[in-house]
Amino acid sequence: MDKALHIENLSKSFASVPAVKNLSFDIEQGEIFGLLGPNGAGKSTTINMVSGITRIDSGRISAFGFDNRSHYRKTRRMLGVVHQEIVIDNFFTVAQALNLHAGYYGVEDDPLWRQELIDRLDLGPHLEKVMIKLSGGMKRRFMIAKALIHRPRLLILDEPTAGVDVELRHSLWDFVREINRNGTTILLTTHYLEEAEQMCDRIAIMNHGELVALEPTRDLVRRLSRRTLKLWLDSPLESIPTELETYHPRLEGNGRQLILCLPTDSGVSELLHQLSSLHLGIKDFETEQSGLEDVFLQLTRSGRNS
């Protein structure tokens, strides 16, 4: 089966400043793929090259087996793009704009599908309003309807929930999950890492135009996240026992709290055995697992320092 998206050695510079450097990755059909990175990492440039807004300097992009330059008509109608910036045309009403947009993609207006989008995105009461009269949230909803009006096979969401309230964000993600279940592949970028962790099957992290990680979300978090064990002691410790050195220990709370980093690739039985033999007088304990946010910071900070 062809990849939903195949990116090969993609590079792009603006005025000799590289924005994307030799980027390669694939997106499988039917997955929800997260492309993350700090501001200026090259995510939007990559998405713009996929959708055709930005010209490619070198490399290749294909969607569902078709090159996005030599078969641009084919690939573009298979893609739906929700841009990061709010893009609306103030001359038209929501109904007019949706109708026109289906036509731009070379497909006849499908009234049933259009109505379904209108209902699911609560656009019904606003159909006869000109764009300028819509609230920010409604504009976002409209942009999603517009990107889906031609039934794309790959939906690209470039920070679709930026500046959107919590309730709308949840309903948008529910909707995205639903269209994904119905067969649409999703490529999304977001600054809400918790959402990316919950939504995405796989995550790629970009930094300074390069790919610094690409793994299934769970593996990435498991491999790179840190689990810590916090122990509350009966009496303060003056020095940390040398036996615990491998767990990167540190003392807090005037020596009454001992914090250890748990190994990610082995069990904890050895540690428990050591703690027991050291007779530290443990009053209580707590474990903490860092999430994608910590992984993200770890990867992007190391890139910045290198």
Partner 1 sequence: MSGSNGQGVYKPWLPFTPLLRKEVLRFWRVASQTLLTPIITASLYLFVFGATLGERISVLEGFNYAQFVIPGLILMGVINNSFANCSSSLFMSRYLGGIVDLLVTPVSPSQFILAYTLAAMLRGSLVGLVTWLISTLFAEMPWTSPLLAVLMALLASVLFAQFGLIAAIFAKNFDTLSMYSNFLLLPLIYLGGVFYPISILPAPWSNLSHLNPMFYLIDGFRHAVLGVGDTSFAVSFGVSSLMTVVLFLWAAWLIGTGKRLRS
Contact with partner 1 (CB under 8 A) among 21, 60, 153, 227: 153
Residue 192: phi and psi, rounded to 5, are: -90, 95
Query: What are the C-alpha distances in Å from 110 to residues 99, 113, 215?
Result: 9, 5, 38
The rounded distance, in Å, linking the Cα atoms of 121 and 140 is 10
- Residue 60 as a binder of partner 1 (CB under 8 A): the answer is no
* Long-range CB contact pairs, 93-98, < 8 A, 24+: 93/127, 93/128, 93/129, 93/130, 93/131, 94/123, 94/126, 94/127, 94/128, 94/129, 94/131, 94/134, 94/142, 95/127, 95/128, 97/131, 97/142, 97/146, 98/142, 98/145, 98/146, 98/149
- Per the CB < 8 A criterion, the answer to whether 258 and 246 are in contact is no
Least separation in angstroms between residue 66's CB and partner 1 is: 12
Contacts of 243 (CB under 8 A, 6+ apart): 274, 278
> Could you tell me which stretch among 121-129, 177-185, 247-255, 272-280 binds partner 1 (CB under 8 A)?
177-185
> Could you tell me which stretch among 76-84, 134-142, 216-224, 246-254 binds partner 1 (CB under 8 A)?
76-84
What is the per-residue binding string for partner 1 in 204-233, x denoting contact by CB under 8 A?
Answer: ------------------------------
- Residue 244 as a binder of partner 1 (CB under 8 A): the answer is no
Nearest alpha-carbon partner for 258 in 289, 286, 227: 286
- Residue 137 as a binder of partner 1 (CB under 8 A): the answer is no
> Could you tell me which stretch among 32-40, 106-114, 246-254, 290-298 binds partner 1 (CB under 8 A)?
106-114
The rounded distance, in Å, linking the Cα atoms of 147 and 78 is 11
Contact with partner 1 (CB under 8 A) among 101, 114, 126, 140: 101
> Could you tell me which stretch among 70-78, 207-215, 252-260, 277-285 binds partner 1 (CB under 8 A)?
70-78
Which residue number, 136 or 291, has a Cβ lying nearer to partner 1? Answer: 136
Contact with partner 1 (CB under 8 A) among 148, 157, 193, 211: 148
What is the Cβ-side half-sphere exposure of residue 281, based on CA atoms within 13 angstroms? 8
Least separation in angstroms between residue 101's CB and partner 1 is: 7
Which residue number, 2 or 116, has a Cβ lying nearer to partner 1? Answer: 116
- Residue 122 as a binder of partner 1 (CB under 8 A): the answer is no
Residues lying near partner 1 in the complex (CB under 8 A) are found at: 14, 48, 51-55, 72-74, 76-79, 81, 83, 85, 87-89, 91-92, 96, 99-108, 110, 112-113, 116, 120, 146, 148, 150-153, 155, 178-179, 182-184
